[in-house]
Amino acid sequence: MEPRDIGAASGTLTFFRSVGGTFGVSLFSAIFTNRLHDDLATRLSSDQLAELTRYGGRLDAAALKALPEAVQSHYVQAVAHATQNVFGWAVLFGALALLAGFLVRTGRAGKSA
């Protein structure tokens, strides 16, 4: 690229990194939340789910310790499973991004040095 276009290119790169990061966080947060909700609904009874909803979605370490042992165990397993699911999707998206990176042609590909 021309030296006069460095500022525009840098700004564009920063913009797309920000948009990509925001999109990625949103996507993986949605995957995590969906998987956690499904696992909790599968693992816990309606009474045990009511114990969790009592905290309004903000379950810190002290609130977790106040829950019955069975609910604690199922909650921790559900969080671990949801996190594992997010990393599985992240590996898939990372592999696709790597593949796309190899397929992208730069403007310098056919030019001689």
Q: Is the per-residue pLDDT at 112 higher than 70? A: no
Intra-chain end-to-end CA distance of the chain, in Å: 14
Report H helices in 1-113: 6-43, 46-53, 61-66, 69-103
pLDDT for res 61 = 87
Q: What pLDDT shows up at residue 113?
A: 45
In this predicted structure, the answer to whether residue 3 has a pLDDT above a threshold of 90 is no
pTM attached to this predicted model: 0.76
Per-residue pLDDT at 111 exceeds 70: no
Residue 1: predicted pLDDT: 74
For the stretch 50-109, pLDDT in tens is 878 877 767 888 888 888 898 899 999 999 999 999 999 999 999 998 998 888 876 554
